Amino acid sequence: MGKFYITTAIDYANGPPHLGHAYEKVLADVVARLRRLKGDQVRFLTGLDEHGQKVQQSAKKEGIDPKVFVDSIAEKFQKLLIDLNISNDDYIRTTEERHKTVVRDILQRLFDEGEIYKGEYSGFYSVRAEQFVQETEKEGNKWPEDYGEVIKITEANYFFRLSKYRAWLIEYIQDHEDLIYPRFRAKQVLEFLKEPINDLCISRPKERLGWGIPLPFDDEYVAYVWFDALINYLSAVDSSASHLRDFWPANFHVIGKDILVPPHAIYWPIMLKAAGYEPPRGFLVHGFWTTAGKKMSKSTGETVDPLDLINQYGADVFRYFVTREMTVGQDSEFSLELFVTRYTSDLANDLGNLVSRLLNMVHQYRDGVLPSGRFTEQPEENLRESWKKTNWNVVSLFEEFRFNNGLAETFNFIRSINRYAEIRAPWKLAKSSKSGDVGSVDTTLAHMAEGLRLAVCLLAPVMPVTSAKILALLGQPEVSSWQEGLDWSNRLEGKRVKKKTILFPRI
């Protein structure tokens, strides 16, 4: 328990959101909600990366002022957060004054201390990637597609002494095994650091790029967009007179694999070190959705945007799907078929049926009031035993970011409640008038209800609305802490259940 600060990458404001952006928010949100349930004081930050060449170019293409352009993009990204039910505490935009102040402070400090110096740079520059590129990166005799147009330029610029910290960084990464999840990515970082690294060019002449934060010590230049953007993590908690400073260092920066090396794993720790801040405690690095941004095709030949599924099925279904399908750290293919299959088999059949079946029977046989589960025998003991295992497993799988496995276990447990109901068959027992059977019906309904309650407590970080809805159907408040609440109990005894509602209508 303690303070827990988690961030996502801040999205480029040069186009509308896509599946990759949505996934990263969900992943970070699941971790944030999990930590809150575990009792941590969580600070969850996300935001928008609004400066730089790409944004300037996109605005120009539309013939509007960059600020007007990024405002319209910010609206789209913020709507996505609401649609996905993301529980961020703050949203930072790099055009905000609170951010620019911190960037300027850090730049000035590093300049005063000689960590930033003026030099001459001559090299190949990719306009699209907004970075100088090396000839060794050429494939055959051509620049990689991603770089778009590459031009040769020579110009005076400011440099940050990155190379000086290489040995420190290597040692730091070696000493902090938990710094990068999954761990195999730390090897890639160390591999990168085997070669000497160049100092980082952190300025862009204003005549080439006007849309950025002017350097406090030379207003002919603006800051390089990555230098500006990375500082968001700090400026959101470190702006003057902030009561949030204690949240630094961040516990996790959630990012995609494309931006670990070099910006997050090389530039960022060194920038912090040079400016006198502690490095972050961790990077949670996810893989890519391989159809991200592309349209998916329905069997009818129509196409769908993955993000349309959020409004069509609700945030929780989308959240469940991406969390269940993706192994954190690896790539995953987004397919509509798989989405529909998961929806039907896990949500509509396994979970949805359990809820409606239980509520129906409680109304039919017990006037809507949950009975006590006193007469326990082998089937009940088996179910409780199965819960005990599930509970421990799932919590630790979630804590290890193995959400797909944790959800698989949770749904196994849900299926075992359904199997238990089949074995007990209360619909048969209820027809018999023997007094022992009266106890059995009670016991069965009580066990199904308690099993369901516990399962949906575990689902809360991934499906917060569904979890709260089902708990409300059982006469329970939404789960706010896992401290109590995950143990088998008889707290539902005597609770009045609501009339059944269809949670997951069939397609």
Q: Quote the least distance from Cβ 475 to ligand MSP, whole Å.
A: 40
Enumerate residues 6+ apart whose C-beta is below 8 A from 103. 213, 223, 227, 228, 231, 235
Residues 481, 479: Cα–Cα separation, whole Å: 6
* Contact flag: residue 146 with ligand MSP (CB under 6 A): no
Q: Which is nearer to ligand MSP, 234 or 348 (CB)?
A: 234
| 229-248 footprint of ligand MSP as x/- string (CB under 6 A) | xx-x----------------
Evaluate the omega torsion of the peptide bond into residue 461 and state whether it is cis, within 30 degrees of 0. no
Look up tokens 């949030």; give the residue. Answer: 244
Identify the residue among 5, 6, 21, 270 touching ligand MSP (CB under 6 A). Answer: 21
* Contact flag: residue 24 with ligand MSP (CB under 6 A): yes
Identify the residue among 220, 258, 278, 399 touching ligand MSP (CB under 6 A). Answer: 258
Residues 355/500, Cβ–Cβ less than 8 Å: yes
CA 39 to chain centre: 19
**Residue type for 24, please?**
E
Query: For the chain, what is the radius of gyration of the CA atoms?
Result: 27
Reference 93, options 133, 41, 129, 46; nearest CA is 46
Q: Quote the least distance from Cβ 280 to ligand MSP, whole Å.
A: 12
Q: Quote the least distance from Cβ 121 to ligand MSP, whole Å.
A: 23
* Contact flag: residue 11 with ligand MSP (CB under 6 A): yes
Residues 446/383, Cβ–Cβ less than 8 Å: no
Q: Quote the least distance from Cβ 140 to ligand MSP, whole Å.
A: 26
Residues 22, 20: Cα–Cα separation, whole Å: 5
* DSSP secondary structure letters along 225-267: HHHHHHTHHHHHHHSTT-TTGGGPSPSEEEEEGGGIIIIIIII
Q: Which is nearer to ligand MSP, 306 or 371 (CB)?
A: 306
Region near ligand MSP per CB under 6 A, out of 251-259, 338-346, 443-451, 465-473: 251-259
Q: Quote the least distance from Cβ 462 to ligand MSP, whole Å.
A: 18
Q: Quote the least distance from Cβ 463 to ligand MSP, whole Å.
A: 21
* Contact flag: residue 292 with ligand MSP (CB under 6 A): yes
Q: Quote the least distance from Cβ 229 to ligand MSP, whole Å.
A: 4
* Contact flag: residue 10 with ligand MSP (CB under 6 A): yes
Residues in region 47-106 near ligand MSP by CB under 6 A? 49
Residues 345, 320: Cα–Cα separation, whole Å: 13
Q: Which is nearer to ligand MSP, 54 or 424 (CB)?
A: 54
* Contact flag: residue 266 with ligand MSP (CB under 6 A): no
Q: Quote the least distance from Cβ 71 to ligand MSP, whole Å.
A: 17
Residues touching ligand MSP, count (CB under 6 A): 19
Reference 366, options 420, 425, 445; nearest CA is 445
Q: Quote the least distance from Cβ 23 to ligand MSP, whole Å.
A: 5
Identify the residue among 132, 277, 288, 375 touching ligand MSP (CB under 6 A). Answer: 288
Q: Quote the least distance from Cβ 259 to ligand MSP, whole Å.
A: 5
* Contact flag: residue 9 with ligand MSP (CB under 6 A): yes
| 326-355 footprint of ligand MSP as x/- string (CB under 6 A) | ------------------------------
Residues in region 193-232 near ligand MSP by CB under 6 A? 229-230, 232
Identify the residue among 147, 283, 289, 318 touching ligand MSP (CB under 6 A). Answer: 289
What would the two tokens of residue 29 be?
């949100």
Residues 245, 241: Cα–Cα separation, whole Å: 9
Q: Any idea how long the chain is?
A: 507
Reference 198, options 94, 121, 92, 146; nearest CA is 121
Q: Quote the least distance from Cβ 257 to ligand MSP, whole Å.
A: 7
**Residue type for 144, please?**
P
* Nearest residue to ligand MSP, scored by beta-carbon proximity: 256
Residues 64, 314: Cα–Cα separation, whole Å: 34
* Contact flag: residue 475 with ligand MSP (CB under 6 A): no
DSSP state, residue 165: G
Which backbone phi and psi does 275 adopt, to 5 degrees?
Answer: -90, 0
| Strand partners of residue 202 | none
Binding site for ligand MSP (CB under 6 A): 9-12, 20-21, 23-24, 49, 229-230, 232, 255-256, 258-259, 288-289, 292
